[in-house]
A and B are shown apart, each in its own frame.
Chain A
Amino acid sequence: MTSIFTVSPDFTPDHLSGWFIFNTWLQKAMDMHLHLQLYDDFDSLHRAVASDEIDLIYANPYDAAMLVRDKGFKPLVKPEGKADEALIAVSESSPFQSVEDLPPGTRIATTGDPDVHLMGMIMLEPADLDAGSVSLKHCESYVLVAKELIKGTADAGIFLLEAFQDMTSVTRSRLRVLVKSQIHVVHHALMIGPRLAAHRERMAKALTEMHTCEKGAGVLAELAFPRWEAVEDEDMEFMIDLMDALNT
């Protein structure tokens, strides 16, 4: 039987091949069939989750609550030292020097990345801005968010920190960061579904030891983090409670 593995569609495309290599490594390590199925957007991913098609997922923190509480998923591991952080940037020539300078009606460029969008909106609150008082412009990628700022068709943009750092130095030099989150405890996690529950312990062990063998370390290098760290049920519950508190 083939199980379906997927990756939240918010990862940076640079790491696409890394996930295919990881899938191959995991199949060998676990001696099981896994098919890496990627979805173009969150709507199609959520439809697949709703119809119980997914068995293993590298999930963003926003989706973790639904996966744990509604679909019986359990956490396995998270990338060591890789928290999800967001930032708000403006064009280099923007008159706005701090978030508090942004007026009602500000045009905000953002992506469909739900946790990054949420963190970004929280960082706009000190300016008394919320979804009702800004004009949101949804972009398909962070590069397009940057373009909106540079063209002057948006006043401020919400970025995943990692995606911002991955942009070319020319692009970054045309932008100015107003605020960066330092939350530290919001992260993606690899999560296992009920049909694979019996394999949870063995898979967690294989993943947390992955960096100790040469092949495993090479695969992790493709994914751009040094090792997987175990995530206990309570760690995940804590993050879900935190996201719940933020989503208010």
Chain B
Amino acid sequence: MKDMNPADIVGEYREQTLTYHDGTSRKVLVTDIETPYPEGRLIVSCTDPDGIITQCNQSFVEMSGYTREELIGMPHCILRHPDMPPAAYKDLWSTVQRGEKWQGFVKNLRKDGGYYWVKATVVPNVRQGKLVGFTSVRRKPSRRKVEECIALYPTLF
């Protein structure tokens, strides 16, 4: 994945380097601007078994700040925010690889450097007994849960 581009960022930002599970890394630029979760919407995306985005809905496009063309074919971790502890993603992957559902509260990174909180559920897609990918559905989280995560996540690094 390419490093984030300062020209895409809105507001003052800081630079951090994220290292992913496969050993690759990416420079991300983050701001303190939160985009509120849109009322009544679901953010939906599908990936292949390797976590590459194959489908996403309009809410996903709008909230991520990327175009659909930029998203399809990219690893889902394009949305990974440096404030999210790696342990959360490790738990997500080990859960869904076992064929089980995973649910958690996630801070996602936007293309413009801002962020948005979601309550995410990831389900394995099994067809004729074979894992063909994952569907991820995000909904509006309660503010109390988000505040709990803001306090907890820094302790998990």
Task: Check B121 against A127 for contact (C-beta < 8 Å).
Answer: no
Task: Check A244 against B139 for contact (C-beta < 8 Å).
Answer: no
B42 within 8 Å of A (CB atoms): yes
Closest B residue to A237 by CB, please name it: B127
A26 within 8 Å of B (CB atoms): no
| The 3 residue pairs across chains A and B that have the minimum distance between CB atoms | A245-B137, A245-B121, A241-B135
Task: Check B143 against A100 for contact (C-beta < 8 Å).
Answer: yes
CB distance from A232 to the nearest CB of B (A): 13
A152 within 8 Å of B (CB atoms): no
The contact string, 1 if C-beta is below 8 Å from chain A, for chain B 134-157, is: 011101111111000000000000
CA distance A126 to B138 in the complex (A): 12
Known A181-B40, A182-B40, A183-B41: A245·B135 in contact at CB below 8 Å: yes
Task: Check B44 against A242 for contact (C-beta < 8 Å).
Answer: yes
Residue pairs across A and B with Cβ atoms less than 8 A apart, 18 shown, are A125-B139, A126-B37, A126-B140, A126-B143, A181-B41, A183-B42, A185-B44, A237-B125, A238-B46, A238-B135, A241-B125, A242-B44, A242-B137, A244-B101, A245-B101, A245-B122, A245-B135, A248-B121
A122 within 8 Å of B (CB atoms): yes
Interface residues of B, count at CB 8 A: 28
Closest A residue to B140 by CB, please name it: A126
Question: Considering the complex, which residues of chain A in the window 154-193 have a beta carbon less than 8 Å from any beta carbon of chain B?
Answer: 179-185
Beyond contacts A125-B139, A180-B40: 11 other A-B pairs, Cβ-Cβ < 8 A, are A122-B139, A125-B141, A125-B142, A126-B141, A126-B142, A184-B57, A237-B125, A237-B127, A245-B122, A246-B121, A246-B137
A123 within 8 Å of B (CB atoms): yes
B residues within 8 A CB of A242? 42, 44, 135, 137
A128 within 8 Å of B (CB atoms): yes
A interface bracket (residues with beta carbon within 8 Å of B):
20 to 34
CB distance from A18 to the nearest CB of B (A): 29
Closest B residue to A100 by CB, please name it: B143
A residues within 8 A CB of B119? 125
Chain A positions near chain B (C-beta within 8 angstroms): 100, 122-123, 125-128, 179-185, 237-238, 241-242, 244-246, 248
CB distance from B34 to the nearest CB of A (A): 15
Task: Check A179 against B135 for contact (C-beta < 8 Å).
Answer: no
CB distance from B139 to the nearest CB of A (A): 6
B residues within 8 A CB of A128? 142, 144-145
A residues within 8 A CB of B22? none
CA distance A125 to B138 in the complex (A): 12
CA distance A6 to B143 in the complex (A): 43
Closest A residue to B119 by CB, please name it: A125
Task: Check B57 against A185 for contact (C-beta < 8 Å).
Answer: yes
A residues within 8 A CB of B121? 245-246, 248
CA distance A69 to B8 in the complex (A): 45
CB distance from A179 to the nearest CB of B (A): 5
A residues within 8 A CB of B57? 184-185
B123 within 8 Å of A (CB atoms): yes
Closest B residue to A127 by CB, please name it: B142
B31 within 8 Å of A (CB atoms): no
